[in-house]
Amino acid sequence: MQRLNIARFIQKKLLLCILIMGETVYLGMGSNLGDRLENIRRAVDLCRTSIGVLLESSAIYETTPWGFDCDRNFYNSVIRMRSTLEPEEILNRIKDIENLFGRRKTRSGYEPRVIDIDILLYGTRVINSPGLTIPHKHLPYRKFVLVPLQTLAPGFVHPLSGKTIRELLEACPDRGIVTPVAAI
């Protein structure tokens, strides 16, 4: 019993450290193959165990494909986390999670997928390296990302455009359909 109490104490202290010292990270998730709802929920659980503390999640939305033609709609969601990991390490862990789902990029461009996880925002940091762009370069143009993101952070100011998420959504040229279907 004593060991269990010590373990819980350590776990609570670790959680507190992440909340105090971590950075707020927004991740976007999408799935249009298999059990889309279960894929999103499982991906959220895996992010929670490998990336940081889950603070909040949007609803899951059914959305029309963006950037390519496809017969099956996507399910999309956004989560807000706190993490002490650097963006590059988060990206590595995201790739590991996608690989657990059997995701293999077979071509350049957009294609159906069991799971896709993108780093949308990492605090107010701006990164533009060959393997990582933060904020996500397509964020202002994707209604399927902006709708769930604005439920979590409507007043967050995009570090490059200077516009809030709400303003980006209002100006978004994407006319795709975004319909809430479930909670995470």
Cα–Cα nearest to 25, from 88, 75, 114, 76: 88
Exposure class string for 103-123: b at 16+ Cβ within 10 A, else e = beeeeeeeeebbbbbbbbbbe
Name residue, tokens 């995701």: 103
Supply the residues annotated as catalytic. 103, 113, 116, 118
38 alpha-carbon distance from chain centroid:
16
